[in-house]
Structure 1
Amino acid sequence: MLTKEQKEFYEENGYLMVEDVVDPDQLAKMQQITAEMIDEARPLTESDERYDLDKGHTADNPRLTRIKLPHKQNPYFWEILTKSRVTEVLNDLLGPDTIINTSKLNTKAPGGGAAVEWHQDWAFYPHTNDDLLAFGLMLADVDAANGPLMVIPGSHKGPVLSHHVNGVFAGAVSPEDPAFDLDKAVTLTGKAGSMTVHHVRTLHGSAPNMSDRNRLILFYELARADAWPILGASSYIHSLGQRKFWEDIQSRVVTGAPVLEPRLESVPVRMPLPPAPDNTSIFKTQATAGQKSAFAMS
């Protein structure tokens, strides 16, 4: 599906925008499912295994930061990943054998919905090689007002910046780090049905949502199957044991098959240890570690 020029752009810059990656019917169905899931969160008073609540959440005014693992909550999100043009983009960039690491539907609430501080996904889950990426499928129009994804082009070829502060893994870089150059940032806006792609080492973040609309983006985090996780990364898989881990790997195959010969590359790694006081989500990690924010609220 991708052109030679698009692949080269991704390789050089570490990000890509793919327009109209799903058709109107697919988009409408995902929007309906998302609206129903948000509605189901109304009675909650605290985050649970399905939802991360934002400040000010009430039954009358549901405010979420995230719907967790949507591909496990509704099979249609798995179908989109495995049987659509999204799948074609995946295979164009990572090859025939791919797995999913996680998914999340970030539902950044209007009127100040939580920012995601600048970070590299690679800092959370280093692997034996860095053929990993994230898709951000826009389920509603994303513009400059509602907290769009921002990336720093070319940062995927540079170092892994420190994501530590106060002696713990903060899940965010310091805005005072001399290697963090916000002036180079590119803002990724687009129409519903478009999809961003960013490399696992690309520096990215998103500001609070200051509009009167939710910012709905469905994220899939994916890997080439020969990229194996390094022990100590922030993942549930290390608690499974060998047999359950193998079963888990098979359940996460998107296309192709598991690969039993990890590809080892010379890639920079910093381990996400010791953990923040609360590391149950990126929002809690960033909030409880005490890192300075790169986003100044007006």
Structure 2
Amino acid sequence: MLTKEQKEFWEENGYLMVEDVVTPEQLAKMQQITNDYIEASRSVTASNDVYDLDKGHSAETPRLTRIKLPHKQNPYFWEILTKSGVTKVLNELLGPDTMILTSKLNTKAPGGGAAVEWHQDWAFYPHTNDNLLAFGLMLEDVGLENGPLQVIPGSHKGPLLSHHCNGVFAGAVDPQDPEFERDKIVTLTGKAGSMTIHHARTLHGSAPNTSDRARKILFYELAAADAWPLVGSNSYFHRLSQYDFMKDLEDRCVTGAPCLTPRIEQVPVRLPLPPAPDNTSIFKTQQSSGVKSVYAM
């Protein structure tokens, strides 16, 4: 599905845009499912296992930052990951054996929906090697005013920047870090059905949504099966028995099979500890740590 030029661009820049990665029928079904979830959130008054609510959420005006773990909330989102053009891209970039780390359906609310401060996914979940990436499948057209994803090309080959503030893991970089090269920022806009891809070590963020419509993007975060997590967002597995751990490993397998021989490489690692006062989401982690906002400067 990817051309030689696209693969070379990915290797050099650590990000890529792929258009029309799903069919019109698949896109329409995901849009309907997403709209149904947003409609159902009218009766929700606090963030829970399904929803992260944004400021100002009400029954009259639903405002969400995201729908959590959509691949577990509705089987169609798992089907898209395992039986669509998304799957083909996944295998071309990570190989035949792949695992899911997490997913989220970011529905950044209109009129100022929350920004995501600049960070590297790698800081949240370091692994034995860095063959990890994130897909961002656009469920609606995304323009400059929607708070689109922004990346810094080539940053996946550079250092792991500090994501700590006030003595805790803040999940964001310091805007004044000299290695945060803001002059190189690229903004990724596109049509519904397009998909952004960024490497786990690529610096990225997104501004508030200043438009009059939600920015709906389905994110899958994935790893080659031979990349084993050290600690971080998947560290719940430390609490599992061996039997439960193996079942979890099998459940997270997207294509191919789990790998029991981790590939270990020399990659920059700093553990995401100690945790922020509230680490229930990336938004809460960034807010409760007191980190400075890039978008307020």
State TM-score, norm by structure 2: 0.98
Paired with 1:2 and 1:105, the residues of 2 have a C-alpha distance of 24
Q: How many residues align?
A: 296
In structure 2, the partner of 1:50 is: 50
In structure 2, the partner of 1:14 is: 14
Give the drift of 1:244: 1.1
SS state of the match for residue 295, structure 1? helix
Paired with 2:254 and 2:272, the residues of 1 have a C-alpha distance of 26
Paired with 2:54 and 2:258, the residues of 1 have a C-alpha distance of 37
Give the drift of 1:245: 1.4
In structure 2, the partner of 1:73 is: 73
Give the drift of 1:243: 2.0
Q: Describe the superposition over 1:236-260 as per-residue Cα deviations: whole angstroms up to 9, x where unpaired.
A: 2222232211110100111000011
Q: Where does structure 2 lack aligned partners over 5 or more consecutive residues?
A: none
Give the drift of 1:266: 0.4
| Residue 260 of structure 2 corresponds to residue 260 of structure 1 | yes
Q: Do the aligned partners of 1:234 and 1:272 also contact (CA within 8 Å) in 2?
A: no
SS state of the match for residue 43, structure 2? coil
Q: Describe the superposition over 1:187-206 as per-residue Cα deviations: whole angstroms up to 9, x where unpaired.
A: 00000000000000000000
Paired with 2:77 and 2:31, the residues of 1 have a C-alpha distance of 11
Paired with 2:241 and 2:190, the residues of 1 have a C-alpha distance of 42
Residue type matched to 2:21 in 1? Answer: V
In structure 2, the partner of 1:111 is: 111
Q: Describe the superposition over 1:63-92 as per-residue Cα deviations: whole angstroms up to 9, x where unpaired.
A: 000100001111110000000010000000
In structure 1, the partner of 2:290 is: 290
In structure 2, the partner of 1:181 is: 181
Q: Do the aligned partners of 1:21 and 1:86 also contact (CA within 8 Å) in 2?
A: yes
Identity between Structure 1 and Structure 2 (%) = 77
Residue type matched to 2:126 in 1? Answer: P
Paired with 2:210 and 2:99, the residues of 1 have a C-alpha distance of 35
In structure 1, the partner of 2:275 is: 275
Residue type matched to 1:82 in 2? Answer: T
Residue type matched to 1:69 in 2? Answer: L
SS state of the match for residue 202, structure 1? coil
Give the superposed CA RMSD: 0.8
Residue type matched to 2:227 in 1? Answer: A
Residue type matched to 1:233 in 2? Answer: G
In structure 2, the partner of 1:37 is: 37
Give the drift of 1:234: 3.4
Paired with 1:238 and 1:282, the residues of 2 have a C-alpha distance of 21
SS state of the match for residue 81, structure 2? helix
Residue type matched to 1:77 in 2? Answer: F
Paired with 1:269 and 1:245, the residues of 2 have a C-alpha distance of 24
Q: Where does structure 1 lack aligned partners over 5 or more consecutive residues?
A: none
SS state of the match for residue 41, structure 1? helix
In structure 2, the partner of 1:208 is: 208
Q: Note the 1:26-175 alignment, pairs <5 A.
A: 26-175=26-175
Paired with 2:239 and 2:120, the residues of 1 have a C-alpha distance of 24
